[in-house]
Homo-oligomer: A and B are copies of this chain.
Amino acid sequence: MVKIPVVREILEVNDRIAEENRAIFRENGVFVLNLMSSPGAGKTSLLERTIDALHEEIQIGVIEGDIQTSIDAIRISKKGIPAVQINTDDACHLDGNMIRAAFDSLDLKALDLLIIENVGNLVCPAEFDTGENHKVVILSIPEGDDKPAKYPLMFHEASVLLVNKMDLLPYIDCSLDVIKETSMKINPHLEIFEVSCKTQEGLSNWYDWLRQKVHAFKEGESDR
């Protein structure tokens, strides 16, 4: 086996715009999460469950990022909460500029929590700050336990890891211990919740985390 590294420079002009977004979110009292995963790991299902569980106590808005289609924003709109669809065409991630264009369509003052559902991609979205308070990554059991090692930036940048589709664990050769050990090695501060959006197993821990974070933010606690 021969090993060939290829080094690429990444433009980080995005950071200034993301910091401006963050200031605007703070002025309006909106706590913001940037939700990321591979395609089909369960981002929209998690949003639907979270809205059902918390919409009576927390005012939630959603920005949906997709390359094409409005499938996800239509799913979220059915829940009766404000949703904006960004279609990136060919772009594989959301950036600060796209989020700015999108939140101009939202009444930020009316929201406690804004959840940005990024494009389904375990690579590029991790590199682009959108102005969120926290990045949240979903890894689903069928993707396999080698994913934190192979896509370390995502797990390094995230504050929370939701291991989803726990109901499929009996049918799949995937070690939860390997996922947890590798992730914690990359990021010792990572909070890990084992969940199934299908059976609702473990979701109350995620709701508790979210509730506590939104309330602390509202009380002026600095949270980046």
Contacts and interface: CB of A to CB of B under 8 A. Distances in A.
A122 B91 CA distance: 12
A88 B8 contact: yes
Nearest to A40: B143
B168 A85 contact: no
Q: How large is the interface on A (under 10, 10 to 19, 20 to 34, 35 or more residues)?
A: 35 or more
Interface in A80-137: 83-92, 98, 101-102, 105, 119-124, 127
Nearest to A45: B144
A92 B69 CA distance: 22
Interface in A50-68: 66-68
Given A40-B38, A83-B1, A168-B171, A8 B153 contact: no
Interface of A: 1-8, 10, 38-40, 66-71, 73-74, 77, 83-92, 98, 101-102, 105, 119-124, 127, 140, 142-144, 146-147, 149-153, 165, 167-168, 171-173, 198
B6 A87 contact: yes
Given A1-B83, A6-B89, A67-B151, 7 more contacts: A1-B77, A1-B85, A3-B70, A4-B85, A4-B105, A10-B90, A167-B171
A167 B71 CA distance: 27
Tally of this chain's copies: 2
B6 A88 contact: yes
Nearest to A86: B4
B165 A142 contact: yes
Contacts of A150: 39, 66-69, 71, 120
30 contacts: A1-B73, A1-B83, A2-B85, A2-B102, A3-B70, A4-B86, A4-B102, A5-B89, A6-B98, A6-B101, A38-B38, A38-B40, A38-B122, A39-B122, A40-B143, A40-B144, A40-B147, A68-B152, A71-B150, A90-B153, A92-B92, A120-B122, A121-B121, A121-B123, A123-B124, A140-B142, A142-B142, A167-B171, A168-B171, A173-B198
